[in-house]
Structures are given as structure tokens and as C-alpha cells.
Amino acid sequence: MTKISAEKKYNKWIVVLSIAIPLVVAVLFGVKLDITVPVFLPPIYATTNALTAVVLIAAVVMIKQGKVKVHERLMKVAIILSVLFLVMYVLYHMTSDSTSYEGDYGYVYYPILVSHILLSIGVIPFVLITYVRAITNNIERHKKIAKITFPLWLYVAVTGVLVYVMISPYY
């Protein structure tokens, strides 16, 4: 089996997940659970975003140093952190009312928020394709898309923290 044909067997999953994840999140935003979560989730999921950014940077440093196994482990950690963020984010919004930004810097906050949301949706297929190219050992194609995926994913992680910092006084 060629590397590209090995990749192709994952394509349906990439498409399904790239569409299903944002749709499920959107649907769950309309669901309100009458439960109280024992912790206040926004600072926890903001920290998760910050950790994701640190792990992504560390993974790039490791691969540039030729430490492939460490890079692989760090990338798996970044994926796990992103999934944990998403679960906590959805849980928070299912159990709490949305918070409105009331500051004087809406002209900064809202563009960051909108770009963060749109790119968080758009980065999903990039992460999945990049991961599939790695696990199918199609390293040259992996490197090409990773150069796109990394800055997008890093932007989403960092702007998630910025959005939290800017809206946190209004919780």
C-alpha cells in the first residue's frame, strides 16, 4: 500500500469529523443543563489553551532538533488538550449563560473572538490531515501541511487565552 493510499482510507473520517464537530458543538450550545459544575470552567479551559500553545511550540522545537519521538508525543498531548478544551467549553456553555463583553475595547475583542471561532472550526481538518500524514509515514506531505497547521492552531490556542483575559472581568 502506498503512503497516499494509506492516507486516503482516513479521508472519510477527516471529512465527517471536520463537519460533525462544529455541528455538534453548535447543537449543544442550544442545550441547557440544569446542573451546577463544581468548578468555574473558563479559567481552566483558558489554561488548557495556554498549555496547548506551549506544547505546540515545544513540539516544533523538538522536531527541529531531530527528536521525532518526543515531537510525536507532544503532538498527541496537544490533540488531547484541544479535545479537553472543547469538552470543557461546551460543558460550560451548556450549564451557564453566555457572558457579554462590556469593555471599551470591543473593536479589539470582537475581531479576535470572531477570528478565533472561525479558525477553531477551520483548523480541525488541518490538524486531522496533518496527523494522518504523520501516522501513515508520509513525512514530506506531513511537513508541507504542518507549516500551515502549526500557525493556525497556535493562533487559535493563543487567541483563546486572549479572549478569556479580555472577558474575564465580566463573568
- Per-residue pLDDT tens digits for 123-137: 999 999 999 999 999
Per DSSP, the residues of 49-89 read HHHHHHHHHHHHHHHHTT-HHHHHHHHHHHHHHHHHHHHHH
Grid coordinates representing 37?
459544575
Distance in angstroms (rounded) separating the CA atoms of residues 71 and 63: 6
Given this model, what pLDDT does residue 124 score? 98
CB 20 within 8 A of CB 124: no
Domains of the chain (ranges plus CATH)?
3-170 (1.20.120.80)
Q: How far is CA 153 from the centre of its chain?
A: 6
Given this model, what pLDDT does residue 3 score? 75
- Per-residue pLDDT tens digits for 148-159: 999 999 999 999
Residue type, 30: G
Backbone Cα Rg of the chain = 17
Given this model, what pLDDT does residue 138 score? 95
Predicted confidence band at 66 (pLDDT cuts at 50, 70, 90)? very high
CB 49 within 8 A of CB 161: yes
pTM of the model: 0.94
Given this model, what pLDDT does residue 47 score? 98
